[in-house]
Amino acid sequence: MNFPSGYRVIGVATLAAAIVVGTAAAWAGGGQGADPLRGKPLATGYALGTKTRDGLGKYYFGREIAHFMSHVGAPWLERPERDREERPDLVMKALNLQPGQVVADIGCGTGYFSWRFAQAVGPQGKVYGVEIQQEMLDMLAKAMAARGVTNVIGVVGTPEDPKLPEPVDLAIFIDVYHECSHPAEIIAALCRSLKPNGRIVFIEYRGEDPGVPIKPLHKMTEEQVKKEMSVQPLDYVETIKTLPRQHLIVFRKKG
Ligand SMILES: C[S@@+](CC[C@H](N)C(=O)[O-])C[C@H]1O[C@@H](n2cnc3c(N)ncnc32)[C@H](O)[C@@H]1O
């Protein structure tokens, strides 16, 4: 996870700890020529290369994968200025969720977006908040209870598989995909979990824009996202550019 100027709010020590925790977990079982996270041979599109400070040294279609953000950094997800920086109101408008739909919020963190999705799909709908860190799911449960939200369900996923219990209308990655250690596997698993016509949406800080104050590994270009999705059973739909710093890139299940 990146800690740009906007990350100053929760203090350098906390942030440094978050990076260290994420790094140690990410490299458990590493080895040259093998997937550093699993010890298995690398799948198509992957390569090992130079490990930079913010990355795993594992590359996918030429992009170094970033460290995931530890739960230690969770207060940053709830920073007061986030509403202004990320405009969740515009995200919700762009997604146009319908009552009764099922949403998978992959890498939901503390649930900054999950409760908004829950409101939009209403009591007949459901939101699965998927996380690889139990600590995040504990914070999610607490935050949803405090808001009186009952249709957000926490799910422990693995880096390769979100373990969704039912098909979904929308799977969304908000500031998450760039730090997924197994992007090919997790997207393939999600494609199997999408309802016919279901969508996968990525919200990422714009890699094309040097004015966006985020470190390079924590941004993605539209071209890179499209390249990585081109090997999946997905059709590109559109890129929504109404957000101040991010783009919202929409794909739909093929066929
Ligand atoms: C920067 S946080 C974003 C949290 C949330 N989406 C938000 O916008 O507030 C990234 C989160 O993604 C989670 N994550 C990373 N890889 C994941 C994966 N493969 N499956 C599920 N969660 C993942 C991390 O544990 C971390 O909590």
Ligand 1 neighbours (beta carbon < 6 A): 1, 68-69, 77, 106-109, 112-113, 130-133, 136, 157, 159, 174-176, 179-180, 186
Domain 80-253 - what CATH class? Answer: alpha beta
| 222 exposure class (CB count in 10 Å sphere: 0-12, 13-18, 19+) | middle
> Of the candidates 112, 88, 71, 251, which has an alpha carbon nearest to the alpha carbon of residue 170?
251
Question: Does pTM surpass 0.75?
Answer: yes
pLDDT, tens digit (0-9, with 9 covering 90-100), for 59-74 = 999 999 999 999 999 9
Cα–Cα distance, 145 to 252 (Å, whole number): 32
Residue nearest atom 8 in ligand 1 by C-alpha distance: 174
CA of 1 relative to ligand 1 center, distance in Å: 9
Q: Which of 26, 46, 250 is nearest to 132 (CA)?
A: 26
Q: In ligand 1, which atom is closest to the CA atom of 111?
A: 9
Q: Measure the CA–CA gap between 102 and 111, rounded to whole angstroms.
A: 16
Distance 108 CA to ligand 1 centre (A): 6
Q: Which residue has the tokens 């760039």?
A: 178
Query: Given this model, what pLDDT does residue 7 score?
Result: 29
Residue 95 Cα to chain centre, angstroms = 16
Take atom 13 of ligand 1 and give the residue whose Cα is closest: 107
Residues 6+ apart with CB under 8 A from 96: none
State pLDDT tens for residues 27-50.
Answer: 322 334 567 667 777 888 999 999
Model pLDDT, residue 44: 86
Domain boundaries, the chain: 5-66, 80-253
Note the pLDDT tens digit of each residue in 177-193: 999 999 999 999 999 99
Task: Name the residue with the closest Cα to ligand 1, atom 12.
Answer: 107
**Residue 176 CA to ligand 1 centre (angstroms):** 5
CB proximity list for 58: less than 8 A, separation 6 or greater: 35, 36, 37, 42, 46, 47, 48, 64, 65, 181
Using CA positions, which residue lies closest to atom 27 of ligand 1? 109
- Closest ligand 1 atom to Cα of 1: 1
**Which residue's CA is the nearest one to ligand 1's atom 10?**
176
Ligand 1 centroid, distance to 152 Cα (angstroms): 16
Residue among 148, 250, 142 at smallest CA distance from 197? 250
- Tell which atom from ligand 1 comes closest to the C-alpha of 203: 8
Query: Given this model, what pLDDT does residue 43 score?
Result: 82
Task: Give, as one character, the DSSP assignment of residue 170.
Answer: E
- Residue in 54, 179, 185 to alter for ligand 1 test, most ligand atoms within 8 A of Cβ: 179
pLDDT at 148: 98
Contact yes or no for 245/206 (Cβ under 8 A): yes
pLDDT tens for each residue of the chain, 255 residues long:
433 333 222 222 333 333 333 333 333 223 345 676 677 778 889 999 999 999 999 999 999 999 999 999 999 999 999 999 999 999 999 999 999 999 999 999 999 999 999 999 999 999 999 999 999 999 999 999 999 999 999 999 999 999 999 999 999 999 999 999 999 999 999 999 999 999 999 999 999 999 999 999 999 999 999 999 999 999 999 999 999 999 999 999 998
CA of 177 relative to ligand 1 center, distance in Å: 8
Nearest CA to ligand 1 atom 4: 109
- pLDDT at position 87 is 98
DSSP assignment of 32-77: TTB-TTTSSBPPTTEEE----TTEEEEEETTEEEEPPPPGGGGGGG
How much is the mean pLDDT over the chain? 88
| Cα(172) to centroid(ligand 1), Å | 11
Element (H, E) at 127: strand 126-131
Q: Token pair 């709010």 is at which residue?
A: 9
Question: Quick one: which of 158, 227, 178 has its CA closest to 65?
Answer: 178
Residue nearest to atom 16 of ligand 1 (CA): 180
Torsion of CA 144, 145, 149, 150, to 10 degrees: 110
